[in-house]
């Protein structure tokens, strides 16, 4: 016989449920319940419901039905730490601030007109809105491992999908790519062997997009220790992402037309400093580099 376990949270105003299917023959789930390993719920209701259960033959399914219904209520242990309690308080504070400026949030509820498209790392220590003080509606943001922008030839990714929407639909006037110190993605890139194959390793497959930054780092800073090489590569990869932005025809056109600017930023959370610079692109440059940097500033 199979059971369905319904867990009902203690909210008086919102009712949600989760179902956990298990086989009664093992008794493992009930044992864990008795030992107090299922906590945080005011009641646990066990109901006998039809459950689809796979047979030994992968092309056949068997359905077990029960004839009666029972329920068991178990008191919860409210002493368990719930991380969402703090999140709830933060949300309520956020909501209170929204109520202080109803005109702004009424406008945001209808449309968004961000000035910035921000590409940042998924690292939990690097939150662009927190570090740079972006307010709701000000920055259209995408985060990935290593704040990498793949070239146009790479194909579809969530990063270039967000870029296309931000540039062509929202018509942002600035793209800011934010790198940071102690980047795990760059450490993974720098630790790769020359001929390493990364089949099945999603992280290394992704960061290998920036392998040219790794090569240039080895050439320029190969005499330094591994940590120093990583610091060098963090900025080298960041600039590579800025160059990759211009491989997208619709980004290049808006840059050439003077409607879009491309910027790099580097957040060092060890000493809490921020570097910012802008990319210069010379489309019809004869000789020399098409790319340059300007407005390099250091915030400390």
How many angstroms separate the CA atoms of 233 and 227, rounded?
10
Burial class (CB in 10 A: 0-12, 13-18, 19+), 126: buried
Burial class (CB in 10 A: 0-12, 13-18, 19+), 190: buried
How many angstroms separate the CA atoms of 238 and 213, rounded?
9
Task: Consult the annotation and say whether 121 binds a ligand.
Answer: yes
Torsion sign (Cα): 166, 168, 174, 175:
positive
For residue 155, is it left (φ>0), alpha (ψ between -120 and 50) or beta?
left
Angle at 181 between CA 179 and CA 182, to 5 degrees: 120
Task: Consult the annotation and say whether 233 binds a ligand.
Answer: no
Are β-strands 116-121 and 174-180 bridged in parallel, bridged antiparallel, or unpaired? parallel
Residue numbering of the annotated binding site for Zn(2+): 121, 123, 180, 183
Residue numbering of the annotated binding site: 121, 123, 180, 183
């Amino acid at each position: 016989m199979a059971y369905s376990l319904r867990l009902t949270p203690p909210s008086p105003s919102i009712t949600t449920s989760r179902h956990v299917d298990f086989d009664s023959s093992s008794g493992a789930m009930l044992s864990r319940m008795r030992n107090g390993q299922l906590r945080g719920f005011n009641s646990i209701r066990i109901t006998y419901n039809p459950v689809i259960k796979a047979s030994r033959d992968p092309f056949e399914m068997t359905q077990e039905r029960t004839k009666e219904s029972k329920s068991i209520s178990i008191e919860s242990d409210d002493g368990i730490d719930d991380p969402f309690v703090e999140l709830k308080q933060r949300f309520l504070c956020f909501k209170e601030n929204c109520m202080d400026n109803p005109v702004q949030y009424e406008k945001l509820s209808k449309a968004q007109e961000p000035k910035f498209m921000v590409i940042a790392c998924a690292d939990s220590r690097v939150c662009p809105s927190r570090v740079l003080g972006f307010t709701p509606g000000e920055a259209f943001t995408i985060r990935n491992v290593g704040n990498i922008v793949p070239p146009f030839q790479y194909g579809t990714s969530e990063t270039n999908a967000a870029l296309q929407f931000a540039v062509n639909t929202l018509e942002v006037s600035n793209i800011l790519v934010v790198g940071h110190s102690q980047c795990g993605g760059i450490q993974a890139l720098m630790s790769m062997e020359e001929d390493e194959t990364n089949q099945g390793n999603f992280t290394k497959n992704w960061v290998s997009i920036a392998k040219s930054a790794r090569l240039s780092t080895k050439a320029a800073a190969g005499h330094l220790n591994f940590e120093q090489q990583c610091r060098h590569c963090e900025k080298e990869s960041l600039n590579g992402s800025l160059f990759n932005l211009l491989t997208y025809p619709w980004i290049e056109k808006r840059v050439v037309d003077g409607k879009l600017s491309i910027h790099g930023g580097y957040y060092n959370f060890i000493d809490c400093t921020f570097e910012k610079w802008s990319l210069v692109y010379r489309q019809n440059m004869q000789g020399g580099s098409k790319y340059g940097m300007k407005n390099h500033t250091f915030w400390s």
